[in-house]
Amino acid sequence: MSGRLAVVGLGPGDERYLTLEAAAALADAQALYGYGPYLDRVPARAGQSRHPSDNREEAARAAAALHQAAQGVNVAVVSGGDPGVFAMAAAICEQIADGPDSWRELDVVFIPGITAMLAVAARIGAPLGHDFCALSLSDNLKPWALIERRLDAAAQAGFAIALYNPISRARPWQFASAVKRLRRHLPPTTPVIFGRAVGRPDECIAVTALETAANEPADMATLVVVGTRETRVVERPGRSPLVYTPRAMSEVIA
């Protein structure tokens, strides 16, 4: 008996951001797995079992979902945003790589979603309008020294930087430390965007400069975009500012 496993991106929050493909996969599933608050976003359906777990239990969740799919069940594993961005798609691949051969025979599909950095960027203009990179500030799965090296490289190379997982109760100092690190390479006036809970009722967007960014309130629901030397803020009367990174670059950064 061969089941199916769909790894589904829910988008940043509001159901407007759920793709039709994702909605269809959720409707088809017999069993749903995911971090509790993400599963709560999926409307209940008769006959569907739900298996919420803690956000630190990704490997165990992936294994449990694969185990159930191998028994012939149609399973969906949900992630906020896109499942391939710091989320469940890699956890599922890791389990398939290391797990029993039978898991390689399963029908596994990955259904994309709108990731937080794109939702935040769209609220404010085009801060990711030219070359950019994404970095998770969580040092749960990698050493802090590696994060610092990547921050240095990204800033020196002139990328706009989307920072996921900027801060949490267990990681209180990392964000301020990352800002300090970036100050070595970027002017104090570099625009920095804080997008909190985008696509949800308590959404909040703020624009500040790198020199004051460490004082800005951020939490686990915040995505931070650090601009480049070229990133501009366009003030508008009676409207929120536009922030954009122009497509033409004049400077070659050594």
Binding site for ligand SAH (CB under 6 A): 12-13, 79-82, 85-87, 115-116, 120, 164-166, 195-200, 220-223
Q: Say if residues 81 and 87 touch (Cβ distance below 8 Å).
A: yes
Q: Give the list of residues 6+ apart from residue 9 with CB closer than 8 angstroms, or none.
A: 19, 22, 78, 79, 80, 81, 82, 83, 84, 87, 111, 112, 113, 114, 115
Between 3 and 112, name the residue whose CB sits nearer to ligand SAH.
Answer: 112
Between 133 and 220, name the residue whose CB sits nearer to ligand SAH.
Answer: 220
Between 73 and 214, name the residue whose CB sits nearer to ligand SAH.
Answer: 214
Q: How far is the CB of 229 from ligand SAH (least distance, A)?
A: 24
Among candidate residues 179, 180, 152, the one with its CA nearest the CA of residue 166: 179
Q: How far is the CB of 200 from ligand SAH (least distance, A)?
A: 6
Q: How many CB atoms lie within 10 A of CB 228?
A: 26
Among candidate residues 48, 40, 34, the one with its CA nearest the CA of residue 92: 34
Q: How far is the CB of 177 from ligand SAH (least distance, A)?
A: 16
Between 127 and 199, name the residue whose CB sits nearer to ligand SAH.
Answer: 199
Q: Give the list of residues 6+ apart from residue 27 with CB closer than 8 angstroms, or none.
A: 45
Q: How far is the CB of 32 from ligand SAH (least distance, A)?
A: 17
Q: Where do we find the tokens 């309008």?
A: 129
Q: How far is the CB of 15 from ligand SAH (least distance, A)?
A: 13
User: Cβ-closest residue to ligand SAH?
Assistant: 81
Between 79 and 95, name the residue whose CB sits nearer to ligand SAH.
Answer: 79
